Structure 1
Amino acid sequence: MRKILWAIFILFSLIFADISWQNVNSSAGFSGRRGHSIIFFKNAWWMFGGRAGNYTNDVWRSVNGSDWTYINNVNTGVDDYRSDYAPFTNNVVIKIHGGLRSNGQSTDRILYTVDGTNWFDTGNSFFPARHSSACLQNNGLLCLFSGYLTAVGGIFYITNEVNVSADYESSNGSLVINAYPGRYEHTALFFNSRYWVIGGLGSNDTPLNDIWSSADGKTWAPATSGASFCRRSSHASIVFDNKMWVIGGRDESGNALSDSWYSADGINWTQSTGNNFSARYDHAVFIHDNKIFIAGGYNNISYLNDIWCCTNFTPASVVIIPAYNCSSSSFLTEAGEWQLAGISLNPAVSNINEVFPSSLFGAFYSHGWNAETQKYENAVYLGAGQGLWIYTGKSAAWPVKGTALNQSSVWTRTLYPGWNLAANPFNFTCYELQIKEKSGRKLTWAEAVEKRYVESRIFKWNKTGHAYTTTGIFPAWEGFWIWAENECSLLIDGNAQTNNLSGQTSEPASGIEWQAFFSFSAGDAGDFCNAAGVHSAGSDGADVFDSRKVPGSPEKNARIIIGDNYSFDYRAPVVNIKIWNIRLQSDIKNTEGIFSWNMSQAENAGLFCSLSEKNTGREIAAGGTGEVKITGSAQGINKEYLFKAALSDYRNLLYNRVHLAGANADYFFRPGNKAVLQFIFSEAGTYEAAVFSLNSSLLWKFPDGCAAGGDLINLDIPAGALPAGVNLAVIKFRSAGHVNQILRKPFIVIK
């Protein structure tokens, strides 16, 4: 019965409206090229290098796939000019492995960037020098397929590299030799839970049209020795509309091709009969806005810089969901550990006690999250896309029976203001999330962040480190947290997950300019908070989420609690002062705790930080990095601190809440200089400000004003109207609660 249903699924998946191609940009700005790649990173598409006679090292960026902006040129001094490389991203960095150098030889060097702009050479790769390999990543598995190894005479092999830390630098996976006939200028895909290798150039540079497949990347078998399309190399492949696609390339005679083929099983291939794009090979393809895009390439005469996309795509009109029980070996439990899990199918039974029977699991506890009330509650009923905390008394891989969502499915759920706990509803890794407005309009994640529907960062749980980390890749059976500012719907489109090189960004769209890392450990437990933001005048509005703290895990052994009422965000030019009220808690009795921090920023000016006791105001540590030890009691640990950070020039604002900008050494200036009196108060209220001489004579009166809590007030000082000598600025503040405060700032005028 299962075979019949699967055959029906394949039959109906072939009911497909052919796509047509349209040239959407005949000259995209970058120079014509081949051997380049395009990868999704931090809300945009990025292109690096390639060759057009000469090798290139330029970087380009696009947010819509059609229009491209030049960023800069990579200049590390080591193999910067290259083509036919292997790109990877884990949404924290982009790494360029290997490739063809300008001297015609392969390289094993790795280039990397964390922002797309600044590039670095990280040294030799973990695989021998090669070019024209095929690459993809899936479920944390970095896969590099074959390639041409000029360094050792053209030996071919496949390497599957598992990298738990996702740094893609060290070799800690497995190496499979002679997996299939050696090749280069081929493609590789992950589709229907299998790895696929398609065509390329084999021994003696013979073009191929065979298809090889593997369930685990180790044991390979031919799906077909000769596909319906002609032998080809330097083609492009991608998964789209629940099918594998082969696009363009060059034939046995070396001529550029303009055809596109698709298959739902890797055996039977059908040519798309819509109008074609212009012939090319060594081009790049990617999926944006549910369309396949083609960029650049070579047509035997010219190097191309045009952009094409499919325009009349219509998914199959009939979608058959396989009606068989599936069990996932990916759902793993570890005894004695809380883990943030997710449900990646529609369970055959929805009651959690039947899905996870205590007779099998031993001790079993679960917590769901009510986004409407923003509270934990017992998890009782389960459904696809639901995130939950579970704790079991037994380590094992557990089968969960149910109905898998078809890749053509679109899953949605409501996001309420505040924290929302969700999961990948599909039984394959997802890379792209979308947001749907109440009107029904769909937004990309970047658009939703721009419209303040959601915060850009998405958080997952690291059960080994007992801490949260940001993520942009969503494996099956794992939960994740999203912060929503306004009610909307989370949308996960199965077809949009098919670009294996893309991933959802999880950093502020405007770019990180500073970052605060807080860590607290007590006994064997720990917690951390990684806050990031900006302090530039134009983009600081994107920093409204910088101090949000994801709900803690149910283990409650060590906690960092950041009070929003002390998290002031001063939107002033070139400065962003942070004041956090931090509470450290642990239920472990009579243990020593350690609280540490590390503040960093991209600009040259340093950050000044200090930690003081909340109740006494006594400063106990200062510096961009630091650590304090905390002695617990029979009741555990419950300590409160104020953590303050600012650019070094503004340390007086942290200590005295008043600062003289534009003055030399913060206290004297000449009449020709412009000076600004700056001050802050943590509460809303009114203020009066004036300048007096040493004998208390009034020299200048500023207009009275109002200040919101956390506002940075700037008042221009009329230096030319003040006498030489010592002057005193006095600010009187009266809060809404009728609490009076007085700030004083002496300064010297030199004439």
Structure 2
Amino acid sequence: MKRLATCFAVLCLLSAWSACGSTVVAEDAAVTSLADRYEWVSVNPKAPFMPRDGAGALSYRGRMWLIGGWNPSLLKRKCSNDVWSSPDGRDWSEIKPNTFLGTDFDATKDWEGRHTAGYAVFQDKMWIIGGDPLQGHYQDDIWNSSNGKDWTLVLKKAPWGPRALHYTVVHDGKLWVIGGQTMPAFAPADEAFYRDVWNSSDGIHWKKIESQEPCWSPRGMIGGAAVLHGRIWILGGGTYETPSTPHRNFYNDVWSTANGIEWKRHAAAPPWKQRQYHDVAAFDGRLWVLEGWNKANRNDVWASTNGTEWQELPGTPWKPRHAASAFVFKDALWMVAGNNFESDVWKLTRKPKAIRR
């Protein structure tokens, strides 16, 4: 009887411990939801720069840098080549005025206005890598600058051209250009939807990386950059219609690679909607997918620590948009301007009392 009583007592204790453990897990899950961790703050509802979409967004030498962009209702040549900078997201200064105005513009002395180009901080400089086809040709040039005002033409014609809507990141001490496409309706070129990978250690000499199967389908239209856990991440994306392919593709699958050769699919259909012209980022140990377009502008925000399990951050206070400018700057994730065509500035910060894992 004593042994039975002892066993019963042990079982009761184990049962109580198990119940207590499940309660702790539930509480932990509650306090570590995105809504408990983060909040959006309006920093400047109307910054002094022109509303725009597709502008470059770089964090460099303790400042935010907004580079170029598209606004066909205000710009005669559709895109600008101005540069704005801010130390705090509230106060902005024009570092370089828009000089992309007349047909006498010299594209060897300054970069043409553009949007949805590749933008990166690399070797202690800001880089513009490629561009768009809106001037009737492909901007396959590469520029860099250490002050945002004076720019150096590094390479007049990159070997991976012609292309637009490519994805650009810095990883493993190299610049990477991934995917994209030609856009024959805007600039002459054979139709091509790319699923290739290129990298360079100096921005001048480029190497094509031969990716192995399985691999992601041809795509581009991904803004920002997501490099996390020593890997490059492709989060969704899509293709733009062409005369021969008059429909767009929209994706939400998740892939990553450490070397551009071997790719791993982490999620075939995560809970966030397929999209293009969205922004991605790596912030606070998480991958982030923000806004975008799929038949309409969006303002949903999603995050994941591993690319497989995703949570939505509810209650986005800023307006739906696509082709925005997302910064990771001073312990915050920033959302600036975009296709809402307002010059608003927001930041996502950790709540002071958020419990960390």
> Into which bin does the TM-score normalised by the smaller protein fall?
0.5 to 0.7
SS in 2 for 1:150: coil
C-alpha distance in structure 2 between counterparts of 1:145 and 1:196, whole Å:
10
TM-score (norm. length: structure 2) = 0.54
Q: 1:206 to 1:116 in 2, by over 3 A?
A: farther
**For residue 218 of structure 2, what is the aligned residue in structure 1?**
279
For 1:80-103, what per-residue CA distance to the aligned partner results, in whole angstroms no more than 9, with x for missing partners? xxxxxxxxxxxxxxxxxxxxxxxx
SS in 2 for 1:135: strand
SS in 1 for 2:153: strand
Q: 1:202 to 1:302 in 2, by over 3 A?
A: closer
Kept in 2, the 8 Å contact 1:291–1:313? The answer is no
**For residue 169 of structure 1, what is the aligned residue in structure 2?**
90
**For residue 188 of structure 2, what is the aligned residue in structure 1?**
none
For 1:509-568, what per-residue CA distance to the aligned partner results, in whole angstroms no more than 9, with x for missing partners? x963xxxxxxxxxxxxxxxxxxx536xxxx5xx69xxxxxxxxxxxxxxxxxxxxxxxxx
For 1:460-517, what per-residue CA distance to the aligned partner results, in whole angstroms no more than 9, with x for missing partners? xxxxxxxxxxxxxxxxxxxxxxxxxxxxxxxxxxxxxxxx9446859xxx963xxxxx
User: Greater CA radius of gyration, 1 or 2?
Assistant: 1
Measured after TM superposition, the shift of residue 261 of structure 1 is 0.7
**For residue 305 of structure 1, what is the aligned residue in structure 2?**
252
Matches within 5 A, 1:169-568: 169-172=90-93, 174-178=95-99, 179-253=110-184, 255-275=192-212, 276-284=215-223, 285-300=225-240, 301-311=248-258, 501-502=327-328, 505=331, 512=351, 532-533=352-353
Kept in 2, the 8 Å contact 1:130–1:151? The answer is no
Measured after TM superposition, the shift of residue 120 of structure 1 is 5.0
SS in 2 for 1:170: coil
C-alpha distance in structure 2 between counterparts of 1:157 and 1:202, whole Å:
15
C-alpha distance in structure 2 between counterparts of 1:225 and 1:196, whole Å:
14
Measured after TM superposition, the shift of residue 221 of structure 1 is 2.2
Q: 1:115 to 1:152 in 2, by over 3 A?
A: farther
Structure 2 residue corresponding to 1:151, chosen from 65, 70, 73: 73
C-alpha distance in structure 2 between counterparts of 1:120 and 1:215, whole Å:
29
**What amino acid sits opposite 1:170 in the alignment?**
D
For 1:165-224, what per-residue CA distance to the aligned partner results, in whole angstroms no more than 9, with x for missing partners? x1x122235234334111122121111122211111155343221111223221112111
**What amino acid sits opposite 1:288 in the alignment?**
L
**What amino acid sits opposite 2:151 in the alignment?**
W
C-alpha distance in structure 1 between counterparts of 2:200 and 2:79, whole Å:
30
Q: 1:432 to 1:220 in 2, by over 3 A?
A: same
Structure 2 residue corresponding to 1:123, chosen from 45, 53, 64: 45
**What amino acid sits opposite 2:73 in the alignment?**
A
C-alpha distance in structure 2 between counterparts of 1:299 and 1:150, whole Å:
22
Of 173-182 and 191-200, the range deviating more from structure 2: 173-182
**What amino acid sits opposite 2:200 in the alignment?**
S
Q: 1:124 to 1:186 in 2, by over 3 A?
A: same
C-alpha distance in structure 1 between counterparts of 2:194 and 2:158, whole Å:
16
Q: Structure 2: where are the runs of 5+ without partners?
A: 1-31, 100-109, 185-190, 241-247, 262-282, 286-304, 306-325, 333-348
SS in 2 for 1:533: coil
Q: 1:258 to 1:193 in 2, by over 3 A?
A: same
C-alpha distance in structure 2 between counterparts of 1:143 and 1:503, whole Å:
10
Kept in 1, the 8 Å contact 2:59–2:328? The answer is no
Matches within 5 A, 1:599-748: none
SS in 2 for 1:204: coil
Superposition CA RMSD, Å: 3.5
Q: 1:122 to 1:221 in 2, by over 3 A?
A: closer
Measured after TM superposition, the shift of residue 311 of structure 1 is 4.8
Measured after TM superposition, the shift of residue 296 of structure 1 is 0.7
Measured after TM superposition, the shift of residue 127 of structure 1 is 0.8
For 1:667-700, what per-residue CA distance to the aligned partner results, in whole angstroms no more than 9, with x for missing partners? xxxxxxxxxxxxxxxxxxxxxxxxxxxxxxxxxx
Kept in 2, the 8 Å contact 1:432–1:503? The answer is no
Kept in 1, the 8 Å contact 2:175–2:200? The answer is yes
C-alpha distance in structure 2 between counterparts of 1:533 and 1:126, whole Å:
34
Q: 1:115 to 1:170 in 2, by over 3 A?
A: farther
C-alpha distance in structure 2 between counterparts of 1:121 and 1:219, whole Å:
28
Which structure shows the bigger proportion of residues in strand conformation?
1
For 1:244-273, what per-residue CA distance to the aligned partner results, in whole angstroms no more than 9, with x for missing partners? 111111124464311111111111111111
Q: Structure 1: where are the runs of 5+ without partners?
A: 1-68, 73-113, 315-430, 434-445, 447-499, 513-531, 544-751
C-alpha distance in structure 1 between counterparts of 2:331 and 2:150, whole Å:
34
C-alpha distance in structure 2 between counterparts of 1:249 and 1:313, whole Å:
15
C-alpha distance in structure 2 between counterparts of 1:432 and 1:190, whole Å:
19
**What amino acid sits opposite 1:161 in the alignment?**
S
C-alpha distance in structure 2 between counterparts of 1:216 and 1:120, whole Å:
27
C-alpha distance in structure 2 between counterparts of 1:533 and 1:132, whole Å:
35
Aligned residues: 222
SS in 2 for 1:208: coil
Q: 1:194 to 1:511 in 2, by over 3 A?
A: closer
For 1:332-356, what per-residue CA distance to the aligned partner results, in whole angstroms no more than 9, with x for missing partners? xxxxxxxxxxxxxxxxxxxxxxxxx
Greater relative CO (CA pairs within 8 A, separation 6+): 2
C-alpha distance in structure 1 between counterparts of 2:45 and 2:329, whole Å:
25
For 1:256-314, what per-residue CA distance to the aligned partner results, in whole angstroms no more than 9, with x for missing partners? 31111111111111111122431101025411110000001113542101001015579
C-alpha distance in structure 2 between counterparts of 1:118 and 1:211, whole Å:
35
Kept in 2, the 8 Å contact 1:184–1:202? The answer is no
4+ aligned runs moved over 4 Å, structure 1 = 69-72, 114-122, 311-314, 503-506
C-alpha distance in structure 2 between counterparts of 1:121 and 1:216, whole Å:
24
C-alpha distance in structure 1 between counterparts of 2:217 and 2:229, whole Å:
22
C-alpha distance in structure 1 between counterparts of 2:132 and 2:218, whole Å:
19
